[in-house]
Every structure is written in structure tokens, then in C-alpha cells.
Amino acid sequence: MRMVLVGADAFYLNTFRRLEEKLGSDIILVNGYGLTEAAIASILFTEKIKYVTSSGLVPIGRSIIGLDVYIVDPSTHMLSPIGTAGEICLCGETIGKGDVPTTTLNLNGNQPVMLTGDTARMLPDGNIDYIGRANASFFKIHGFRVNPLEIEHCVIKHLEDRIDDVRVFATEKGYEQKIICLCYKAKNKENMLDAQIRSIIKNHLPYYMNPGIVKSVGEIPMTINGKTNIKLLKEICLQEKTMNQTFKEITSAMRRLKP
């Protein structure tokens, strides 16, 4: 084996480094990005990690031969400045024909461009820093815009030697407003890191980023497409919240019954 190509989901730096150690220096580790409609692998990162992005994710790299990639401001359809978030747009011969949603941009000679719905930013060295889905990357809590990757990166940064994976998302089923949920997989399953995680977030991030639920899981569930199964994680967290609420209600009722 000479090369390993990973993709399908956001790739954290600590996971990348662990995989690099297991594979050894003779095997090339590539982080890929792409859509089925664009020959799957459209952007590849083949370099060694030289810096840490603000998201804590491994860059997705540069476009392959025969394909152009643009980071475009969704409101103006013009190029986003370096370091500014915008939508990933693919243009080239690998774009499939048919029902693929395309548009045109003034900056590329009116060639058809596929809007991916993914948010990213161009880095100064020409690599692309993936942020997430445009319709799912950010959510609002108490009127504040929250980037879940910022919370995940903060936790991993301070607990890298004790935690394997973290996922942050918002849910509002059964509640008057959205709450932040955080699920994590500890390296040692016997270690409960709930208190440490809450303390780290409280000390390093704004108050509105504090999660309402922190839950340890044995494994981060994945879909058949290799992406994080957020729907299942939401069900796990909501069940935990319901159990806690039921316990509080029972305890309160028992206190009222005491003479």
C-alpha cells in the first residue's frame, strides 16, 4: 500500500496525526473533498501539515487537473477574499451533466459552475480550509451565531490526549428554544470528562457556547455514506435530557411529600 485517501466528512488534525503514525512515513495520506456529481474527488490535500487552521480541521487542499475551484460570496457571486468564508464552487470537465444545479459567474467566462452548498475559505498558501455545510455549519443560540466546529476544536485542543472524537450540534425538539449538545468519545471509556469539558468551554469560549447537554458515547455513529449520524446523536441526547428531567420531577415530588 502506497497511498490512503480519506474523505466523506470533516477530518480533524489529531485524527490525521494518529493515522499518519499508524501508516508510517512510507505511505502518503491524502485528505480529499468532492461530490458524486463532480467525479467524487475534486480537491486533494497531499502536503505535510505545517499549521493549524482556526477550525482545527485538515485543509482539503487544491483542485485536481481539469477542474477549477472558486470560493464565492453567496450574495454577490464574486470571489471571496483570502481568509473570508464563502461557498465552494466547482467548474470543469469533471462536472456531471443533467440535473446538477449549476450557475454562471462573471469571473470565469460564463462557464457552468456547480454550487456545492459547502462553506470554506481560501488560505494564503492556496489550500482550502473546509468549514462545513452552508445550511448546517452555523446555528443561532439566544440570538448569537455559533460555529460548532469552534467548540469541537476548543475541546480537542485541550483534551487531545484523553479524547478521540467530539461532535457538537443544536437541537430543539421538545424545548422552547435550541440547546447545544456535545457528544464525545473518550480514549479510556471509563473516564467521564463531562466536568472537564464544561470547564474548558466556560473558560475559553463565550457563555452562549456552553452546551446544555454533554454526553459520553462509546462510538460516534456514522451513516452508510461515512458521515456523522447527527440524527441518531440527537435522539441519544434528547433521551438523556428526558431522563434527567423525569428524575428531577420525581425528586421534586418526593420532597413535597415529606412531612
**How do the domains of the chain map onto residue ranges?**
3-133, 139-254
CA 232, CA 132: separation in Å to the nearest integer?
19
Tell me the average confidence (pLDDT) per consecutive run of 10 residues in the chain, 259 residues long: 79 80 83 75 83 80 84 82 87 64 59 78 90 70 80 86 87 70 84 88 90 88 81 82 45 49
CA 205, CA 201: separation in Å to the nearest integer?
5
CATH of domain 139-254: 3.30.300.30
Give strand ranges (E) for the chain: 3-6, 28-33, 43-45, 62-63, 67-72, 86-92, 102-104, 112-122, 128-133, 139-141, 144-146, 163-171, 179-186, 213-216
What pLDDT is attached to residue 199? Answer: 92
User: Is there a contact between 93 and 56 (Cβ–Cβ < 8 Å)?
Assistant: no
Collapse the DSSP code of 242 into the 3-class scheme (helix H, G, I; strand E, B; otherwise coil) and give the result: helix
Entry pTM: 0.61
User: CB count, 10 Å around CB of 222?
Assistant: 13
Q: CATH says 3-133 is which class?
A: mainly beta
What pLDDT is attached to residue 45? Answer: 86
What pLDDT is attached to residue 23? Answer: 81
What pLDDT is attached to residue 74? Answer: 76
What pLDDT is attached to residue 56? Answer: 75
What pLDDT is attached to residue 201? Answer: 92
CA 224, CA 40: separation in Å to the nearest integer?
16
User: CB count, 10 Å around CB of 78?
Assistant: 13
User: Is there a contact between 177 and 209 (Cβ–Cβ < 8 Å)?
Assistant: no
Task: List the strands of the sheet with 163-171, edge to edge.
Answer: 163-171, 179-186, 213-216
Per residue in 127-140, pLDDT (tens digit) is 999 887 766 567 77
